[in-house]
Amino acid sequence: MDMLFQFIANGLVSGSFYALSALGLTLIFGLMRVVNFAHGELYMLGGVMGWLTTTVLGLNFFAGLALTILVMGAFGWLADRFLIERVRDQGEEPSILLTIGLSIFLTNTALLLVGTAPLNVEGPLPNKPVFLGPVVLTELRLFAVAACAALILAAHLVIRYTRLGRAMRATFQDAMAARLAGINTARVYASTFALGTILAASAGMLLGSIYSTHVSAGGLVSLKAFVVVILGGMGSFAGAIVGGLILGVAEALWGGYISTGTVDIIGFLIVILTLIFKPYGLFSTQVERA
C-alpha cells in the first residue's frame, strides 16, 4: 500500500513535469495548429541556456532563468516571423517538414557548439529528500511542481485578462475577423510562438536542474508533449495539466506493477484510445473546423 502512495506521488510529480514541458506545445500546436516537431529542441535549448548561465557564467538560477526567457523569447519571435509565418495556413505538411528541419538543425548545431557531454544546471534549491509519511520527495521537486503551477497560472492569466490574450483568442477563433477588427495578427502569432518557446525553454531549464540535460534530450520530450496535448485537448491549459497528470500517473502505475522497460508504451496507447473514443481530447474548448 505504501508503494501505491509512492507510485501515485511519483506519477503526480512527473505528471506535472510532463504538463510543464507540454505547455508550450499547447499554445503552438493546440492554438496555432503548428505541428511543432522542434518543441523538444526548444526545451533542450532552455536546458543548454540554463547550463550556460548557471554553470558557465555562474549566475544564480533566477537570473539565469530571466536571461533564458529573454533570449528564447526573442528566438521564438524570430523563428515565427522568418520561418513559421511563411507556411501559415497551409495545412500540416509544410509546418511539420519545416519544424523537423529546424529540429535537425538545432540538435546538431547545439552538438557542434556545446558538445555531447551531459550538462548540469544549478538548481535554486538543494535536492535533499523530503519525507511526507511514506512518500519521498525532494525540495527541488516540490519547487518545480510549484513553479509549474505558477507558470500555468501565469500563462492562463495572460491569455484571459491581457490585451494580448484577448487578441490571441480572437485571432485563433477567426483570424480574418480579427484582422478586420484591426488586430495585427502577424504580431499575435509571433507573440504566441514566442510565449510557447519561453514556456518550453523554462521547462527545459527547470527540469534540467533536477535531472541534468544534454543536447539530444529533445526527441523524447516532443513525443511525450504531443501525447499530453492530444490527451488534454488542443489548446486547453486545463487539459494539458490533466493530460500531464494522467500520463504521469499511468506511467508510474504501469512501471510499478508491470515493467519499467515498456513504460513508454502506455502514453501511445492512451493517445490511440483517446483519439478513437474522444478524438478532441478531454478538455477541448474548440470545435473542430470543417
Partner 1 sequence: MRKLILAPIIATALMGATQAQAQDTLKIGLIQPLTGSVAYNGTADANGARLAVKERNANGGVLGKQVELIIEDGQCSPANSVNAAEKLIQRDRVASLVGAFCSSATSAVMPVARKYKVPFLSGVSSEASLTEKGNPYFFRSAETDALLGQAFSKLLADNLDLKKVAYIGVNDDWGRGSVKAFESELSAHGVDTAMVEYFNHGATDFYTLLTKLRSSGADGVFVAAETQDGSTLVKQIKQFGIDMDVFGVGSWATSDFINITGEAAEGIYAAVPYVANQDGERNKKFVKDYATAYDHAPGKYAAAGYNSLNIMMDAIERAGATDADAILGGLKATDYQAPNGRYRFTSKGQGYGFNLVLVQIHDGDIDVVATTRIDNPEADKNNDGQ
Partner 2 sequence: MKIERNTLLVLGLVALVFPLLVGNQYLLHIGVMVLLYAILATSLNLIVGYVGEFSLGHTAFLGLGAYTAALLSLRLGWPVWATVPVAGVVSAIFGAAIGAITLRLRGPYFVIITLAFAEVLRLIANNWVDFTNGPMGLSGVAQPALLADASPLMAKRFYFYLALALTAVALYMAYRFVYSNNGRAAVTVRENRFVAQSVGIRPFVYAMRAFVLGAFLAGLAGGFYAHYITFVGANVFGFAFMISMIIMVLIGGKGTLIGPLLGALLVTLLTEYLRELQELRLSLFGLIVMAVVLFLPNGLMGFLNHRREPGERDGADRTAPGTQGGTA
Site string for partner 1, 177-216 (x = CB under 8 A): ------------------------------x---xx-x-x
Least distance between partner 1 and beta carbon 163 (Å): 33
- Which does residue 226 bind out of partner 2, partner 1, none, counting CB within 5 to 8 angstroms by kind? partner 2
Helices (H), the chain: 2-25, 39-50, 61-82, 92-114, 139-161, 163-173, 175-180, 185-211, 218-232, 237-257, 264-277
Alpha-carbon span 77 to 122, nearest angstrom: 27
116 makes contact, choosing from partner 2, partner 1, none, with CB < 5 to 8 Å by partner type, with partner 1
By CB under 8 A, is residue 127 in contact with partner 1?
yes
Q: Given candidates 4, 66, 70, 104, which one binds partner 2 under the rule CB under 8 A?
A: 104
> What Cα–Cα distance (Å) separates residue 53 from each residue in 44, 59, 61, 123?
14, 6, 8, 12
The nearer residue to partner 1, 14 or 284, going by C-beta atoms, is: 14
Given the complex with partner 1, which of 76 and 255 has the nearer CB atom?
255
Nearer to partner 2 by C-beta: 99 or 213? 99
Q: Which is nearer to partner 2, 64 or 255 (CB)?
A: 255
CA distance 278 to 284: 10
The answer to whether 116 and 214 have CB atoms below 8 angstroms apart is yes
Cell numbers 538543425: residue: 105
The answer to whether 145 contacts partner 1 (rule: CB under 8 A) is no
Residue owning grid cell 500546436: 29
Alpha helices by DSSP H, 129-184: 139-161, 163-173, 175-180
The footprint of partner 1 (CB under 8 A) covers: 2-3, 6-7, 10-11, 13-14, 17, 107-109, 111-113, 115-118, 120, 127-129, 131, 136, 138, 207, 211-212, 214, 216-217, 219-220, 251-252, 255-256, 259-261, 263-264
